Structure 1
Amino acid sequence: MSQLASIGLFLAAVVAVFGAMLLWTRARTRERQEDVLMRLRAGDDALIASSGFGEDEAISNPVLRWACHLVWRTGAETEPSMVARWMIAFALLVPIALVLMGVLAGLVAIVIVLVVTWAVLSRQAARQRARIIEQLPDFLESVSRVLSAGNSLEEALISAAQESNDPLRGLFVSVGRQVRLGASVEVVLTDMADIHRIRDLRVMAMAASINRKYGGSLREIFRSLVQAIRSRDMAARELRALTAETRFSAVVLAVIPVGLMLYILARNPEYYTTMWADTGGRYMLIGSALLQAAGVFVIWRMLAKVQEGDA
């Protein structure tokens, strides 16, 4: 029972640290968003000097770049240096877990922390992405209206961003900032599409590139894109309604084994203690935990394929 208690204590400490970092990040993000909104309302050109997120600032480390993209997809305005500090802090927790709980138990605890952290961030990123796509049709219509007045695409994006709500406003404010700093709008939109995994932004980037090279009407392209987004959203809603029973069955299959384990652990803790004390039982517990995690991952991917059109 001491090893199980050590695992629980380690997981509780990690959850507390993760929660503190999450609260701090949200507070910092809210502060920056309020500052950006004040600058937008005041028409301050110094906005380009404010720090932002979603910018691949020469991040050569692929692991750090992946982690930054995962964090940026959630809407958190976190610098790459801060993400690197989080990764270093977690790396320092690994030997502590191995020393306190042993190699096997420590590895199990580390895997659990990684899976839970990745699942939470991915879930938040999916919600952020859904909100962006939901706001995108109205934003494109606003961009089309500004384009019809004779403005450039860059000016239309910045003007429409001022009238939008978060999270779309923060995304295109970052686009406008990078364009003012000298980047081409199609390159910036492509980067944003890669970070947030939104194909509609890539279509906007392709339209901007074609318009820059060969000319054409961006308003017609954006109007067609708005119709495509709304049609796809309607089809996705119908699909979710048709697969509601299947998705509920998948959630039940994922939850029942975990719930049964917690019930047995609460009613008869010695049951798992005896198994953990035996070498064969320990491997069985670890194997069952890994199989359960793999099953939950497969079910989650199946649900994600249903809920996300371009997953």
Structure 2
Amino acid sequence: MIRVLIAVLTAIVAFSLFSALVIVRKRQEDRLKKRLTTFSNVSAKRPETEQPRGLRGAPTGRPRKPQKETLQERFFRFVKKHSQRLPRAKLQEKLNVLMEQADWPLLGRDFEVIALLLGAFAALVTMLLTMTPSYAALAFPGGIGLAWFYLRFSIQRRQKAFMNQLGGMLEMSANALRAGFSFIQAFELIAREMDAPIGRESEKVLREINLGSTMETALTHMQERVQSPDFELVVTAVLIQRQVGGNLADILDTISETIQERVRMRGEVMALTAQGRMTGIVLAALPFALGGFLYTASPGYLDPLFEDPRGHIAIAGAIVMIIIGFVVIRKIVDIKA
């Protein structure tokens, strides 16, 4: 039992390291973006002919010393280098979409390399701690599974934040249209004034339009990234209005009221189903907590369960039933509002 707990804790530690690396990488990208924004707003320097005579040809400053690479930069350079060696597959295209949905500064093949490294690290540490190849073999897919779980969790968290901001985005767009702005200028206002994820998604839409894409294509790509049924309604309304005409500001106001009412209803549903969701979590964790307590209080009490082949069958059956019960409870309390 203690070896299984060590393997689980090792996988959790490896998962935490992977999460920290992704967060650090995202913060580095945000700092770089702020620097580019700051310098892009600075007025251009005067040409050499307009500089004072005493300063012509003079060095503008001391040459900067090359900065040393940090551990994170070395790690991601290693990931980029080895990810290019991976064979192309359809899974990478799906992972590229998931990276965009999670807003991670990675490619699909980069995530594959990181997940494999995470699994290998979990397997290596488990092998060193337990000296049991079977536990190490279980830790390898466990590390990959934790990476995948964190990716899905990041996507769901971002989608939830997007839905909470969507009502404010529509109100700002409607007010901007009434003030005489065009729809693209309204998106520029949203990208400048609103926080992520809507602010970043608006920037991507504007970037696509500046590169030659149509409004319809840019909005469709945005819908593919956010995967929001509410925003899909907005995209459909905007595309119809651009074809047949109408007052877009009034349309956005109506959609905004509908979305805000749906968000309020979702909150009520989440509050009413909180007890059921917590029940599923407690029932899934209770057998493991009770097993750990019994093993600590009486170490030899559970030995037949791990040494006898019938005990192995009982453990496997119990785990399967726990998973089935947890999934069933989640399906019951998962009410689409």
Give the TM-score normalised by the residue count of structure 1: 0.76
The answer to whether the 8 A contact 2:187-2:202 is kept is yes
Aligned to 1:256: 286
Partners in 2 of 1:113 and 1:91 — Cα distance? 4
Larger radius of gyration, structure 1 or 2?
A: 2
The answer to whether the 8 A contact 1:14-1:113 is kept is yes
Q: Percent identity?
A: 20
Partners in 1 of 2:329 and 2:94 — Cα distance? 23
Cα 1:251–1:91, aligned 2, differ >3 Å: closer, same or farther? closer
Aligned to 1:143: 173
C-alpha displacement of 1:302:
4.1
Gaps of 5+ in 1: 45-59
The answer to whether the 8 A contact 2:166-2:231 is kept is no
Once the two structures are superposed, the pairs formed by residues 6-155 of structure 1 within 5 Å of their partners are: 7-37=4-34, 39=36, 61-90=89-118, 101-102=132-133, 105=135, 108-110=138-140, 112-113=142-143, 115-155=145-185
Cα 1:18–1:248, aligned 2, differ >3 Å: closer, same or farther? closer
The answer to whether the 8 A contact 1:185-1:205 is kept is no
2:246 is matched with which residue: 212, 216, 241? 216
The answer to whether the 8 A contact 1:185-1:208 is kept is no
Q: What CA deviation, in whole Å up to 9, does each residue of 1:189-236 have, x standing for no partner?
A: 333333332112222322332233333332222111110111111212
The number of residue pairs the alignment matches comes to 289
The answer to whether the 8 A contact 2:167-2:256 is kept is yes
Cα 1:218–1:81, aligned 2, differ >3 Å: closer, same or farther? farther
- RMSD (Å), alpha carbons: 3.4
Aligned to 1:297: 327
C-alpha displacement of 1:91:
6.4
Partners in 2 of 1:101 and 1:291 — Cα distance? 27
Query: When you count helix as a share of all residues, which structure comes out higher?
Result: 1
Partners in 1 of 2:139 and 2:325 — Cα distance? 18
Aligned to 1:56: none
Cα 1:174–1:279, aligned 2, differ >3 Å: closer, same or farther? same
1:195 is matched with which residue: 225, 237, 242? 225
Q: What CA deviation, in whole Å up to 9, does each residue of 1:92-120 have, x standing for no partner?
A: 569868996455x5565456545544444
1:177 is matched with which residue: 199, 207, 218? 207
Partners in 2 of 1:153 and 1:72 — Cα distance? 24
The answer to whether the 8 A contact 2:115-2:144 is kept is no
Aligned to 1:51: none
